[in-house]
Amino acid sequence: MNEPSPQPLTLTVHSLAVPEEAAAGEAARRRTRAGRLRLLLVFALCAAPVVASYLAYYVVKPQARSNYGTLIEPPRSWPDAMPLRKLDGTALAPAALQGQWLLVAVGPAACAAACEQRLFLQRQLREMLGRERERLDKVWLVTDEAALKPELQAALQAPPAPVWLLRTPRAALERWLEAAGGNALEEHLYVVDPRGQWIMRLPPEADPARVRRDLDRLLRASSSWDRAGR
């Protein structure tokens, strides 16, 4: 019987990575991953204050905080079309008031005793903020064309922190601000944030100590993105 002829033996040689090259490649990949993680960590650390202030300021519900004033949700932006004039008749754009927290009083030029008390409270609240008071301006929106009492105007415009005295029609204010049920628009003070948004309404004859706590919270929540001055 004839035996089959032996077949030639073939060998396949597979290339193998040089150990040093493989180690170098793995080290490079690890460095890349570590670099990305560090970049994400830096971004998270930088963004954290802004995100935290955003959540504290806009997302946390009033029920979770013991606020005294009424939070306005959603906040109402100052209408661009609202006519504002200085006492000398010069027009002023609402955007000129942005960049500072505002504590706003409204009412006619014939400021009676209750009106004067609100303006005194407005001044008192700003001073109670201590070193943070430079982040808040006082505004009186005069709702008619009558002249202010000279002595009152002089007191309000005296340094170091004069009041912004601006005229605007009451009807225009009613399209932006809103009084609590049973109260007149003039009975409240209103808090406007540096972006020009009405965010809080204070009760009539408000307790200064309790209002100060509200203002302190708002200023702390916005400290990462708001600075004194425009």
* Boundary-marking domain end, from 35, 59, 83: 59
- Tell me: do 74 and 151 sit in the same domain: yes
Same domain, 138 and 104: yes
d(CA 31, CA 39): 12
- Residue 42 dihedral angles phi and psi, to the nearest 5°: -60, -45
For residues 204 and 152, state if they share a domain: yes
206: its two tokens: 């408000």
Q: Please determine, for residue 12, whether its predicted confidence score (pLDDT) is greater than 70.
A: no
Do 99 and 35 share a structural domain?
A: no
The whole-number pLDDT of residue 65 equals: 57
DSSP-assigned states of every residue in 36-52: HHHHHHHHHHHHHHHHH
**Domain for residue 139, yes or no?**
yes
Domain shared by 105 and 213, yes or no = yes
What CATH number does the domain containing 159 carry? Answer: 3.40.30.10
Strands 85-86 and 101-107, sheet pairing = unpaired
Name the pTM for this structure.
Answer: 0.73
Over residues 50-89, the pLDDT tens digits come to 445 544 554 444 445 579 999 999 999 998 889 999 999 9
